Amino acid sequence: MVLYNASTNKMHVDEIVDAHVLVVGSGGAGVRAAIEASRYGGVVMVSKTIAGKGGCTTMAEGGYNAVLRDRDSVDVHREDTLSGGAYLNEPALVDALVHEAPERMADLVRWGAVFDVTDDREIAQRPFGGQRFPRTCYAGDRTGHEMIMTLLDRLDATDTHLYQEVSVIDLVKDENGTVAGAIALDRDGNVVFFRADATVLATGGGTQVYDISTNSAAGTGDGFAMAYRAGAELIDMEMIQFHPTGAVYPYDARGRLVTEAVRGEGGILLNARRERFMERYDPERMELSTRDVVARAIATEVLEGRGTSRGGVYLDVTHLPAETIESRLPVMLEQFLAYGVDIRREPMEVAPTAHHIMGGLRITPECRTTLPGLFACGEVAGGVHGANRLGGNALAETQVFGKRAGEFAGKNPARSGRISEGAIEEKIRVLDDFFEGSVNPADLRKDLKLTMWDQAGIFRNAADLRTALGHIKRLADKRLCAASTANLLECCTARNMCTTASLIVRCALIRPENRGAHVRRDATVTAEPGKSPFGHTYVSLTREGIEQREAMT
């Protein structure tokens, strides 16, 4: 491999790193994959952020679903997951999830995780929405943080090499079309080329494409975009979970997650007239209905003028003992206190916020994508949650599929195909273009995020979606400007956000029905979720469409 000449003032590859398995992303899924893959050969983990400090796993508060008690069963967990997902889930993936979540939980405990336990020395579990058994394991309200700290301890005992604050900007394929690694930029904008026999994509979600989002700053959907550019197929990208309860104030903190555990612990929702409005939407499950139902209920209250002046509703825990709030919801208490609200005494104000992308790369239960050499796990993969994710299932997903991706990537044979210099050169030329552009990527992001929120949000229709798609295309064509090499990444990220947004909107246009989190006000097809004639939407460089299927019973 030629290292390009620095004196020409063009971008060039500064460093080449070889590995058996390349893991992209240091969230719960990526670290779990690296731990597993390291049993089979040399592993390199590349992460946009310092490991443990980036992505959404660190932020996850509520918990991890696993069947641990005799009174519960994996069949019930399976059925809850499918019915919550409006039967759009890939059943084989759900089977893996519910069967292996308990074993992966046991791994975490063995590795030192500090989960809450009961007086009888069992892992404590709490109720979460849409589930018939309280099966959500937790570590206070910092469950994800506990997991990632434990996983990093375990990772440290392997020979995995970490490249932190190094961001992958594109996947690279060899002459056989096998994914052969990735190109990345380090903090200063130097180009690093990682070559590997197998690549695991674990870049997490991307709801940062919406104006109001719970995701970390790394949740820009890079993985969806890079995989799409490389030719992988994605499914169900229209399935965006709007979490019912995001903060509404202060403005800059809008969207910040108010964990479902608040409702799990007994929090109630009230509109501005102090009516417990969930009675009208789901009198049986009330506040603990599935997220799509609660989010639409809140959005409807606000749209119909029964919201607060800031466009939210009240979430109230003042009837709970102060000690319960302090011990079970310390992070919530602390965050609201920082903004001058004492949730022990006054209600929170909340409104829906873009939370999770259920869709993603099409994977097999072995986490193989449609591209040879490329594996995916965690939020970047699709199919596990169908049309709506149950709270607590995503953390379980990171462990179950992280382990699987690591194992099967590890077992992947050595790659033999040649990597053409042209392929690399082409990707680097895109970077050079950013020095010629004129549009500030920050401005483009703002525009994109508002477009997505306004036209591809909770309630959708074809006209809005088409407008959005047109606008996104225009934004994607703008020539972005990098102020320095260190800013190249900003440009790449903005470009990825445009791609991810367009995938969401294209799939949203393709699905003509209301299903789970996807609501088309102009829907032409109405069927019970289980009887829907439709399967996954799919989209790739070469095709897009929606699967037809026999109605399930």
Partner 1 sequence: MKTITIQVSRFDPAVDAEPHFEEYTVQVNEGARVLHALHAVRDNHDPGLAYRYCCGSGQCGSCAVRVDGTPVLACMEEARDGMTVEPLALPILKDLMVDLEPVIAKIARICPAPDAELPAKDEIETIKPLRDCIECFCCVSACPALQVTEFAGPTVLRQEMRLTLDPRDSGDRITDAITKGLFYCTTCRRCLEVCPKEIDIPGKAIEKLREIANRRGLTLPRHQEVARLVQETGRSVERTKETFLEQVPEVIEPDGPVRGEVGFFVGCMFNGRVPQTALDAMEVMKRNGIRVIVPHDQVCCGSPLIRTGQTAFVDDLKKKNIEAFARRGITTVMTICAGCGATLKNDYETPFVVKDVTEILTEYGIEPPTKLDITATYHDPCHLLRGQGISEEPRALLRDAVREFVEMPTQCCGAGGGVRSGVPEEAKALGAKRDEAVKATGADVVVTVCPFCEFHIADCTDVPVKNLVTVLLEGYRKKDAEREGSA
Ligand X SMILES: Cc1cc2nc3c(=O)[nH]c(=O)nc-3n(C[C@H](O)[C@H](O)[C@H](O)COP(=O)(O)OP(=O)(O)OC[C@H]3O[C@@H](n4cnc5c(N)ncnc54)[C@H](O)[C@@H]3O)c2cc1C
User: Residues in the site for partner 1, rule: CB under 8 A?
Assistant: 49-50, 52-55, 58-59, 109-112, 114-119, 121-123, 139-140, 142, 145-146, 149-150, 152-153, 156-157, 164, 187, 216-218, 249-253, 256-257, 330-331, 334-335, 338-339, 440, 442-443, 483-484, 486-487, 490
Q: Determine if 343 is a binding residue for ligand X (CB under 6 A).
A: no
**What's the token pair of residue 250?**
């202060």
476 contacts 505 by C-beta, under 8 angstroms? no
CB of 277 to partner 1, least distance (A): 27
46 binds, among ligand X, partner 1, none (CB under 5 to 8 A by kind): ligand X
383 binds, among ligand X, partner 1, none (CB under 5 to 8 A by kind): none
168 contacts 47 by C-beta, under 8 angstroms? no
CB-facing half-sphere around the CA of 145: CA atoms within 13 A: 9
| Distance separating alpha carbons of residues 237 and 493, to the nearest angstrom | 18
From the list 167, 290, 399, 537, which residue makes contact with ligand X (rule: CB under 6 A)? 167
Candidates 32, 126, 154, 263; catalytic one = 263
From the list 125, 398, 485, 500, which residue makes contact with ligand X (rule: CB under 6 A)? 398
**Contact map string, positions 1 to 40, toward ligand X, x by CB under 6 A:** -----------------------xxxxxxx----------
From the list 102, 130, 140, 204, which residue makes contact with ligand X (rule: CB under 6 A)? 204
Given the rule CB under 6 A, which of 114-122, 171-179, 191-199, 372-380 is the region that contacts ligand X? 372-380
* Amino acid symbol at 147: M
Neighbours of 260 (CB within 10 A): 29
| Distance separating alpha carbons of residues 75 and 72, to the nearest angstrom | 9
102 contacts 66 by C-beta, under 8 angstroms? yes
Q: Is there a catalytic annotation at residue 263?
A: yes
CA separation (Å) from 68 to 40, 72, 97, 124, 127? Answer: 30, 7, 14, 10, 13
From the list 19, 20, 45, 63, which residue makes contact with ligand X (rule: CB under 6 A)? 63
Smaller CB separation from ligand X, 194 or 277: 194
**What's the token pair of residue 284?**
């049986």
111 binds, among ligand X, partner 1, none (CB under 5 to 8 A by kind): partner 1
202 binds, among ligand X, partner 1, none (CB under 5 to 8 A by kind): ligand X
Neighbours of 506 (CB within 10 A): 18
**Contact map string, positions 218 to 237, toward ligand X, x by CB under 6 A:** x---x---------------
Smaller CB separation from partner 1, 26 or 178: 26
Candidates 12, 77, 243, 368; catalytic one = 243
Q: Note if the bond before 347 is cis, omega within 30 degrees.
A: no
**Which among 113, 6, 83 has a CA at the least distance from the CA of 388?**
83
CB of 220 to partner 1, least distance (A): 11
26 binds, among partner 1, ligand X, none (CB under 5 to 8 A by kind): ligand X
289 binds, among partner 1, ligand X, none (CB under 5 to 8 A by kind): none
Roughly what angle, to the nearest 10 degrees, separates helices 28-37 and 393-410?
30
| Distance separating alpha carbons of residues 26 and 55, to the nearest angstrom | 8
| Distance separating alpha carbons of residues 68 and 65, to the nearest angstrom | 9
What Rg do the C-alpha atoms of the chain give, in angstroms? 22
| Distance separating alpha carbons of residues 297 and 224, to the nearest angstrom | 30
Q: Determine if 203 is a binding residue for ligand X (CB under 6 A).
A: yes
CB of 7 to partner 1, least distance (A): 18
Length of the chain measured in residues: 553
Q: Determine if 278 is a binding residue for ligand X (CB under 6 A).
A: no
203 binds, among partner 1, ligand X, none (CB under 5 to 8 A by kind): ligand X
335 contacts 256 by C-beta, under 8 angstroms? yes
CB of 273 to partner 1, least distance (A): 26
| SS3 label, residue 323 | helix
313 contacts 301 by C-beta, under 8 angstroms? yes
Given the rule CB under 6 A, which of 107-115, 303-311, 392-400, 498-506 is the region that contacts ligand X? 392-400
**What's the token pair of residue 469?**
């798609």
489 contacts 189 by C-beta, under 8 angstroms? yes
Q: Is there a catalytic annotation at residue 385?
A: no
302 binds, among partner 1, ligand X, none (CB under 5 to 8 A by kind): none
Q: Determine if 361 is a binding residue for ligand X (CB under 6 A).
A: no
Q: Determine if 406 is a binding residue for ligand X (CB under 6 A).
A: no
From the list 43, 59, 456, 498, which residue makes contact with ligand X (rule: CB under 6 A)? 59
Distance of CA 500 to the CA centre of its chain: 12
CB of 494 to partner 1, least distance (A): 12
What spatial distance separates the first Cα and last Cα of the chain, rounded to whole Å?
56
Given the rule CB under 6 A, which of 301-309, 366-374, 375-383, 403-411 is the region that contacts ligand X? 375-383
Given the rule CB under 6 A, which of 48-56, 336-344, 454-462, 469-477 is the region that contacts ligand X? 48-56
Distance of CA 45 to the CA centre of its chain: 19
Smaller CB separation from partner 1, 208 or 451: 208
DSSP letter at 515 equals B
3-state secondary structure 358-414: CCEECCCCCCECCCCCEEECHHHECCCCCCCCCCCHHHHHHHHHHHHHHHHHHCCCC
Q: Tell how strand 234-235 and strand 534-539 pair up.
A: antiparallel
Smaller CB separation from ligand X, 37 or 394: 394
28 binds, among ligand X, partner 1, none (CB under 5 to 8 A by kind): ligand X
Which residues here bind ligand X, judged by CB under 6 A? 24-30, 46-49, 54-57, 59-63, 143-144, 167-168, 202-205, 214-215, 218, 222, 257, 356, 378-380, 391-395, 398
* Residues designated as active site: 243, 263
